[in-house]
Amino acid sequence: MTLIKSISGIRGTIGEGPVGDSLSPVDIVKFTAAYAAQLKEKFPDQKLRVVVGRDARMSGQMVEMIVCGTLISCGVDVIDAGLASTPTTEMAVIFEKANGGIILTASHNPKQWNALKLLNEKGEFLNAEEGGNIVKCAEDETFEFAKVDQLGTLTYKDYTEDHIKAVLDYPLVDVQAIADAKLKVVVDPINSVGSIVVPMLLDELGVDYVVINAEPNGNFEHNPEPIPENLTALSSRVVEEGADMGIAVDPDVDRLAFISENGEPFGEEYTLVAVADYILSHKKGATVSNLSSSRALRDVTEAHGCTYHASAVGELNVSTLMQKESAVIGGEGNGGVIVPDLHYGRDAIIGIALFLTHLAKKKLSMSALRATYPDYYISKNKVELTDKSLIDKILDEVKEKYSEYRVSTYDGVKVDFDADHKWICLRKSNTEPIIRIYCEAHDKESADALANEVIEVINDIVK
């Protein structure tokens, strides 16, 4: 497996290759030391403090020990949050006014993967320049270690209760309304930290719940990405229990998906749509999602008399545009909800609390609530090319073919057919000769037909 290095950190498999080709202990040390070196340049006159948190992956404790030990060896004081969700760790950086944070999680990747996700002093992901400097420092090994009398210290602190309290104190979370609704839910935290934090939240909200895949051991019972094909057991259990809904999170609890009372997926694209609908009904303002997310957010935003903005793909791009546009809500169509006046990170915990408030106040079933939103379907495809040099030509051809429509090129090529409420988006991979094709329309047949139309254009070029 190739070790993946990016501005947000380093990701790879454990024990499946040599140094530099998997996430080995040596690579973990290099990247952690490079991160410490970056912080020293940014805060030259401070005694550095960094928060470290991890999900429940099998390799988590091992990686945690290496990361904490390396930071200490670089003279950094470490606050070890232990088992903590990604949003909990992000908020811990804010709570502690630390210089940064490291989240040990590979998100929805399978159990053999792990990663170091790097945060700045605001608990947000690094920008491109900062991330690039760390990659270069790690590769060149230009970091240094501290003298024995300048080593860092290690303290342990659990921030989960602090995170939950911040969510409960959020003005638009109505604890009483949720408790009065007497909801019953089934939770699938997929054998990770969600099995700790989600039940704690539901206890505070007065919700009756059943948990499946509850042991936080990192031995994921199914593919951990919270998409419909991986949530069949949750769907069945919701119907079996006669529950009002199902709740699914990914291993680090920054993505959120729901199952309706009839066992049907609510749709991960509609997690953000529903939360945004609730927020906008109480607080007017802009919304943001990335350009490959459903148009449904735009429709709901405009129905509230507000303005929608599309960012380039990537959580950092979404949060950056949210700050620029002073958005009141934003996120990604993969079930990622960002509530900016809590923090600028995807957070399933605040997402659950706001959604349950919305559901309780609407006094509707999940399926009835879903029926209030416009129906869209996204067809996702990819074309592999033998000649990577053709990619730019393909993007130019597609741009020309659809030039009579609204075309944007700030992240690949996106064409909006506004009159028909559909769109296509082509993006090239940074690491492989692949073009990813996303097409959305009101139904699967129309979306697939649009995708096939684009694929034919590509085939005409490459044949």
Structure tokens at 207: 């919700």
CB atoms inside a 10 Å sphere around CB 350: 28
Contact 297, 280 (CB under 8 A): no
Q: Give the whole-angstrom CA distance, residue 339 versus residue 414.
A: 26
Q: Give the whole-angstrom CA distance, residue 264 versus residue 236.
A: 9
Q: Give the whole-angstrom CA distance, residue 430 versus residue 450.
A: 24
Active site residue 107: yes
Rounded to 5 degrees, φ, ψ at 211 are: -115, 130
Q: Give the whole-angstrom CA distance, residue 49 versus residue 121.
A: 10
Query: Which is the catalytic residue, given 22, 24, 107, 260?
Result: 107
Burial label for 446, CB within 10 Å (0-12, 13-18, 19+), is: middle
What is the distance of C-alpha 388 from the center of its chain? 29
Rounded to 5 degrees, φ, ψ at 34 are: -65, -40
Q: Order of strands, edge to edge, in the sheet holding 287-290?
A: 308-311, 287-290, 329-332, 336-338
User: Which sign does the torsion angle of CA 95, 55, 260, 161 carry?
Assistant: negative
Torsion of CA 443, 454, 392, 4, to 10 degrees: 50
Structure tokens at 35: 């991160």
Q: Order of strands, edge to edge, in the sheet holding 100-104?
A: 4-6, 9-13, 113-119, 100-104, 49-54, 77-83, 154-156
What is the distance of C-alpha 141 from the center of its chain? 30
Torsion of CA 253, 255, 260, 265, to 10 degrees: -130
**392, HSE (Cβ side, Cα atoms, 13 Å):** 2
Contact 359, 366 (CB under 8 A): yes
Q: Any idea which residues carry the catalytic annotation?
A: 107
